[in-house]
Amino acid sequence: MSTRERLLNSLLRRKPTTALGRELYVDPQVFELELEQIWYKDWLFVGHDCELKSPGNFLTVQVGAYPVVVVRDRDGGLRAFHNSCRHRGSRICTTEHGSAARLVCPYHQWTYALDGRLIAARDMSGGFDKTQYSLKPVHCASVGGYVWICLAQVAPDLAPMREHLEPYFLPHHLNRTKVAFESTIIEEANWKLVWENNRECYHCAGNHPELCRTFPEEPVITGVSGGFANERIANKWARWESIGLESKYRISADGQYRTVRYPLIEGATCYTMDGKAAVRRPLSDSVTEEDIGSLLLFHFPTTWNHIMADHATTFRLLPLSPTRTQLTTKWLVHEDAVEGVDYDLKRLTEVWRATNDEDRRVCQENQIGVNSPAYEPGPYSAMHEEGCMQFLDWYSRHLHQRLEMAPA
């Protein structure tokens, strides 16, 4: 049986009320198929507009086998290219962030303009036609302050996502923020285990003493009912929508992304140890209300987010191997906020740094147990783990559709 058939079978046999079978978390061939059918075909969050403010600013990212560079061009547009030189293939931009007037390959110095055109190639013989060796483009777009790329030949239509996300995100002016701190950690776990862990708070009380000071563990927050029946949430939504902040739970038709603004626990406005703002200057000049709860976005397979009145914390997940996942976290503050004056870095970052480390540990232990031939998926808690089931429903349906469309 081919890997494709095996995978289709396991997806068809899947019980929607349990986690997945072992092979879907450990098998290198399954991982390859996920790269091909999900990671190389969907829109992926890679970074923020604010990291690419001026022409020549670039960021790089590695998605499976593909190194990609995203750059701000001379006209202020965003472009993404395969970060592989058209001469003999060397990676061109080798740092995670940088700035350059031209992209120069470090190997033999072939030189590309910011729009990808090859503009200099030393000592190539007479008939060499530079116009044939531009960098290969990758789809790239900005939505609400988030930069997305898509490696597919034909990218999925971005219009529905833009229409959904922009009303929630535009008031926060993320393009006028800056990254105050960034951390990257490696979780020794399959990317889906990292997502399942993110989509429930059943584990919070036992593992997250810092986060639990401010983050409500109520199942409604990670569930799929949205909280329409919860009076406290409904009152907050009414208040926030009256000041122009889109807040109600909304999930895309295919379940790939969701936005909602939820209150933190009573009296808290921010994920700090005391629940008070970490940054004196509001994140956005047009949102001055202190308590706007936290705007939550998830978008499978790359990102979950928390946008508060004073700062935002955004997460990017990338798969490294069947049992390794990279998680990059960025703390965004107003672009004019000054460290040591408007905020203290330790206070700003301590809760999520601790929480990430705790999640890293539980995901790693989860993987070690799942690696065991004795592992058998047990039932989810209907009360607390609806979000996991929703994630795996999306994953199974999505992968199934893609596999059915893919040539055998």
Q: Which does 34 bind (CB under 5 to 8 A by kind): Fe ion, ligand FES, none?
A: none
Per partner kind, with CB cut-offs from 5 to 8 A, the member of Fe ion, ligand FES, none near residue 85 is ligand FES
CA distance 203 to 207: 6
Q: Nearest approach, Cβ of 391 to Fe ion (angstroms)?
A: 14
Binding site for ligand FES (CB under 6 A): 85, 87-90, 105, 107-110
Does position 187 interact with Fe ion (CB under 5 A)? The reply is no
What distance in Å separates the CA atoms of residue 115 and residue 74, rounded to the nearest whole number?
8
Of residues 27 and 359, the one with the C-beta less far from Fe ion: 359
Site pattern 309..348 for Fe ion (x: CB under 5 A): ----------------------------------------
* Closest CB to Fe ion among residues 300, 315: 315
Q: Considering the complex, what minimum distance in angstroms separates the CB of residue 351 from Fe ion?
A: 12
Give least dist CB 139 to ligand FES, A.
23
Min. distance of Cβ 105 from ligand FES in angstroms? 3
Could you tell me the end-to-end alpha-carbon distance of the chain, in angstroms, rounded to an integer?
Answer: 12
Contact of residue 107 among ligand FES, Fe ion, none (CB under 5-8 Å per partner type): ligand FES
Please, what is the minimum distance in Å from the beta carbon of residue 355 to Fe ion? 6
Token reading at 202? 């059943």
User: Whose CA is closest to 257, among 67, 33, 94, 44?
Assistant: 44
Q: Which position's Cβ is nearest Fe ion?
A: 359
- What does 87 interact with, of ligand FES, Fe ion, none (CB < 5 to 8 A by kind)? ligand FES
Residue number, 133 or 395, with CB nearest to ligand FES: 133
Q: Residues 166-171: contacts with CB within 8 Å, 24+ apart?
A: 167/246, 168/144, 168/245, 168/246, 168/247, 168/259, 168/261, 168/295, 168/297, 169/143, 169/144, 169/145, 169/295, 169/297, 169/307, 170/144, 171/244, 171/245, 171/246, 171/284, 171/286, 171/287
Residue 84, both tokens: 């592989």
| Cβ pair 292, 277 in contact under 8 A | no
Instruction: Choose the one of Fe ion, ligand FES, none that binds residue 228, judging by a C-beta under 5 to 8 angstroms depending on kind.
Output: none
Q: Is 49 in the site for Fe ion (CB under 5 A)?
A: no
Q: Least CB distance from residue 111 to ligand FES, whole Å? A: 9
Please say which residue, 246 or 359, places its beta carbon nearer to Fe ion.
359
In whole angstroms, give the CA distance from residue 298 to residue 243. 24
Query: What is the four-CA torsion angle of 406, 15, 259, 339, rounded to 10 degrees?
Result: -90
Q: Is 385 in the site for Fe ion (CB under 5 A)?
A: no
Nearest distance in Å: CB 160, ligand FES: 39
Q: Which does 359 bind (CB under 5 to 8 A by kind): ligand FES, Fe ion, none?
A: Fe ion
- Residue 196 as a binder of Fe ion (CB under 5 A): the answer is no
What does 201-227 look like in DSSP terms, one character per residue?
A: -TTHHHH-TTGGGTS---HHHHSSSTT
Nearest C-alpha neighbor of 6 from the set 17, 18, 27: 27
Nearer to Fe ion, 102 or 361 (CB): 361
Nearer to ligand FES, 110 or 352 (CB): 110
Q: Smallest gap, in angstroms, from Cβ of residue 185 to Fe ion?
A: 13
DSSP 367-403: HHHHTSTT----BPPTTT-HHHHHHHHHHHHHHHHHH
Instruction: Please identify, among the stretches 107-115, 174-182, 321-329, 354-362, the one whose residues bind Fe ion according to the rule CB under 5 A.
Output: 354-362
Q: Does 359 bind Fe ion (CB under 5 A)?
A: yes
Nearer of residues 77 and 89 to ligand FES, judged by Cβ: 89
Backbone angles phi, psi at 142, to 5 degrees: -110, 135
Closer by beta carbon to ligand FES, 68 or else 332: 68
Q: Are 95 and 60 in contact (CB under 8 A)?
A: yes
Could you tell me which residues are beta bridge partners of residue 18? Answer: 379
The radius of gyration of the chain from alpha carbons, rounded to an integer in Å, stands at 22
CB 25, CB 367: distance < 8 Å? yes
